[in-house]
């Protein structure tokens, strides 16, 4: 069988930043109608490579070819004109605008001084129908679930006539049902001649949807893999250069005293609307309570209320028997609470601070790192060197500014800071988001170790596999409520996935007459 012609080729691409060789002589080929998987550890060079293909960076060496012709891409406008579209992990949508208005942004259809919304609307309807996207052109983005917002991003690329589509961690915030829907859409795109680069840390999905896989390690191509002949374990080993334990190894929990008690909690969102409505649960020492749910169902506001970052409208929060409803973040922290926030850049780091100072944001004023009002930079530096090595922060330069790290390495800094403290209650929201399999393996071991040492763990994750692997009980949030709490032995993927979509447990008598 003759191979399909290449639509995109990268030849000898090299990119350097001060002190870092981000991409080292990389070659890859994407063929027409193919899904090419791109894997690699945090800091392996995936984002840098995609940013050069999409025109956000310029290569130092090498060339890019589109449909066999060398091209120069100096910006995203050049990439779009060449038929290259990119759906970013964090969607580039304006919540207060409609689907049509978002799709038109930057590529407006006009008649004289007037926008031709009607023309754009008809084209969006046509694309939605042709590719099975099922999107209402008149809907406000703020009213759409995450899975539909992602479809809007795909329509944006197709509206600009993209036939090469880069999907960056496209299933990171989707339910299992939404992921299946995305894969169905991807197969329709392939049938229409679109070619896709699929970037993901979810190895099971890479094996299911990709035709070929390229693995980067430390900025260079570590190898290629045929999904038909590969396993999750073999891909993980190729990524990190060693065997990786993909299954979480943990003994049965032995819960102790209650460490967290939440009673009839009500919390409002930034618009003053109810986000958490009547939530109540308990968490014991020595157990992991996983909170599953599609993002936007109140998990963010719940965690912010528990950690003192958001005011409580009604209800009570007790930690170690002491009421801490409305307490300050410092007061909560000093009660032995660790917090890995959902938004690492907004809430987890001071981006203009160095790595070493970010690692003591919660403890810089304590005796270990200060003497009276004088901060002990030597002690802070020693602490940072130890944690950077232990948590494999790359590059391991403690005086680097946090904003200069990749997203995955920023996450490692936060996790290192929170896990290294004397924590009795850990509230971890999306703790492994954006991390590679080797780092996830390490973080999971740390979480289980903290549980076994007697800490209570509240794990909030949109990664259902993560919740099911780590949790001893699973609470499912939907539209601000906890609609079910399941012991782990009853929490299979389909049951939890349905609860995440709002399907409540049906009575055994349902449907009988």
Full pLDDT tens readout for the chain, 513 residues: 577 899 999 999 999 988 789 999 999 999 999 999 999 988 788 988 999 999 999 999 999 999 999 999 999 999 999 999 998 877 889 989 999 999 998 776 666 666 778 889 999 999 989 888 889 999 999 888 777 888 999 999 999 999 999 998 888 767 677 788 899 999 999 999 999 999 988 899 999 999 999 999 989 999 999 999 999 999 999 998 988 877 888 999 999 999 999 999 999 998 899 999 999 999 999 999 999 988 789 999 999 999 999 999 999 999 999 999 999 999 999 999 999 998 888 899 999 999 999 999 999 999 999 988 899 999 999 999 999 999 988 888 999 999 888 777 888 999 999 999 999 999 999 898 777 888 888 889 999 999 999 999 999 998 888 999 999 999 999 999 999 999 999 999 889 988 988 888 753 433 343
**509 located within any domain:** no
CATH number of domain containing 81: 3.40.50.300
Strand partners, 212: 36
Kindly tell me the number of DSSP H helices and DSSP E strands found in the chain. 16, 24
220 and 250 part of one domain? no
Strands (E), 294-437: 314-319, 322-323, 337-340, 370-371, 374-375, 425-429
* Cα 340 versus chain centre, distance: 13
* Of 222, 240, 258, the domain-final residue: 240
What does the pLDDT read at residue 256? 97
Whether the Cβ atoms of residue 289 and residue 475 lie closer than 8 Å to each other: yes
80 and 152 part of one domain? yes
CA distance 201 to 411: 15
Q: How would you classify the pairing of strands 425-429 and 164-168?
A: unpaired
CA distance 390 to 382: 13
Backbone angles phi, psi at 447, to 5 degrees: -65, -45
Contacts with 223 (C-beta within 8 Å, 6 or more apart), sequence order = 215, 238
**500 located within any domain:** yes
By CB atoms closer than 10 A (0-12, 13-18, 19+), residue 218 is middle
**513 located within any domain:** no
Please state the domain count of the chain. Answer: 3
144 and 203 part of one domain? yes
**510 located within any domain:** no
430 and 310 part of one domain? yes
- Look at phi and psi of residue 278 and say left if phi exceeds 0, alpha if psi is from -120 to 50, else beta: left
Contacts with 330 (C-beta within 8 Å, 6 or more apart), sequence order = 308
363 and 493 part of one domain? no
What does the pLDDT read at residue 289? 98
What b/e string do you get for 370-393 counting C-beta neighbours within 10 Å, with b at 16 or more? beeeeebeebbbebbeebbeebbb
**110 located within any domain:** yes
85 and 189 part of one domain? yes
209 and 167 part of one domain? yes
220 and 254 part of one domain? no
Whether the Cβ atoms of residue 106 and residue 79 lie closer than 8 Å to each other: no
What does the pLDDT read at residue 346? 84
Q: What angle do CA 405, 408, 412 make, to 5 degrees?
A: 90
**105 located within any domain:** yes
Contacts with 312 (C-beta within 8 Å, 6 or more apart), sequence order = 265, 266, 267, 305, 325, 326
Q: Residue 264 is inside which H or E element, if any?
A: strand 258-268
* Of 212, 240, 268, the domain-final residue: 240
What does the pLDDT read at residue 420? 94
What does the pLDDT read at residue 109? 64
**88 located within any domain:** yes
Contacts with 135 (C-beta within 8 Å, 6 or more apart), sequence order = 99, 124, 128, 148, 151, 152, 155
* Of 383, 401, 421, the domain-final residue: 421
What does the pLDDT read at residue 376? 95
CA distance 87 to 455: 39
CA distance 215 to 225: 8
pTM for the predicted model, two decimal places: 0.74
What does the pLDDT read at residue 112? 61
**11 located within any domain:** yes
427 and 483 part of one domain? yes
Strands (E), 172-238: 195-199, 212-217, 220-225
Contacts with 346 (C-beta within 8 Å, 6 or more apart), sequence order = none
Show the domain range for 442.
245-336+422-504
Sheet with 288-292, strands from edge to edge, namely 337-340, 425-429, 456-460, 288-292, 473-478, 481-487
249 and 211 part of one domain? no
- Look at phi and psi of residue 45 and say left if phi exceeds 0, alpha if psi is from -120 to 50, else beta: left
213 and 121 part of one domain? yes
Task: Identify whether 234 is preceded by a cis peptide bond (ω within 30 of 0).
Answer: no
326 and 256 part of one domain? yes
Residue bearing tokens 């990749």? 406
Instruction: Return the CA Rg of the chain.
Output: 24
């Amino acid at each position: 069988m003759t191979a399909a012609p290449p639509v995109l080729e990268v030849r000898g691409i090299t990119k350097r930043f001060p002190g870092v060789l981000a991409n080292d002589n990389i070659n890859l080929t994407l063929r027409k109608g193919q899904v090419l998987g791109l894997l690699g550890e945090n800091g392996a060079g995936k984002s840098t490579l995609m940013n050069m293909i999409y025109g956000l960076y310029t290569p130092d060496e090498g060339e890019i070819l589109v449909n066999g012709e060398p091209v120069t891409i100096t910006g995203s406008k050049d990439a779009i004109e060449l038929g290259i579209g990119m759906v970013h992990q964090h969607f580039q949508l304006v919540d207060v605008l409609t689907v049509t208005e978002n799709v038109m942004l930057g590529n407006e259809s006009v008649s004289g001084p007037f926008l031709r919304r009607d023309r754009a609307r008809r084209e969006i309807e046509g694309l939605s129908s042709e590719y099975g996207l099922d999107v209402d052109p008149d809907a406000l983005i703020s009213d759409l679930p995450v899975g539909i917002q992602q479809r809007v991003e795909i329509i944006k690329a197709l509206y600009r006539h993209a036939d090469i589509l880069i999907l960056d961690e496209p299933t990171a915030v989707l339910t299992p049902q939404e992921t299946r829907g995305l894969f169905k859409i991807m197969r329709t795109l392939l049938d229409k001649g679109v070619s896709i680069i699929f970037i993901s840390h979810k190895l099971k999905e890479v094996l299911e949807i990709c035709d070929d896989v390229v693995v980067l390690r430390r900025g260079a191509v570590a190898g290629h893999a045929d999904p038909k002949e590969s396993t999750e374990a073999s891909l993980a080993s190729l990524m990190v250069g060693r065997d990786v334990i993909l299954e979480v190894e943990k003994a049965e929990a032995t819960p102790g005293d209650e460490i967290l008690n939440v009673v009839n909690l009500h919390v409002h969102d930034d618009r003053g609307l109810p986000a958490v409505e009547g939530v109540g649960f308990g968490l014991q020492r020595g157990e992991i309570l996983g909170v599953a749910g599609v993002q936007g169902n109140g998990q963010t506001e719940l965690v912010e209320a528990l950690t003192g970052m958001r005011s409580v409208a009604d209800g009570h929060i007790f930690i170690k028997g002491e009421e801490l409803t409305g307490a300050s973040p410092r007061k909560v922290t000093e009660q032995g609470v660790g917090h890995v926030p959902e938004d690492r850049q907004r809430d987890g780091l001071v981006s203009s601070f160095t790595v070493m100072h970010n690692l003591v944001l919660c403890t810089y004023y304590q005796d270990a790192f200060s003497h009276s009002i004088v901060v002990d930079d030597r002690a802070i530096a020693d602490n940072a060197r130890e944690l950077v090595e232990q948590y494999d922060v790359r590059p391991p330069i403690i005086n680097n500014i946090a904003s200069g790290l990749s997203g995955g390495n920023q996450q490692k800094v936060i996790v290192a800071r929170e896990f290294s403290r004397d924590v009795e209650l850990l509230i971890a929201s999306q703790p492994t988001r954006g991390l590679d399999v080797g780092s996830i393996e390490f973080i999971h071991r740390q979480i289980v170790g903290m549980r076994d040492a007697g800490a209570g763990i509240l794990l909030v994750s949109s990664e259902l596999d993560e919740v099911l692997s780590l949790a001893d009980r699973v609470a499912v949030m939907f539209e601000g409520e906890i609609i079910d709490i399941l012991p782990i032995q009853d929490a299979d993927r389909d049951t939890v996935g349905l609860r995440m979509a709002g399907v409540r447990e049906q009575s055994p008598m349902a449907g009988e007459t």
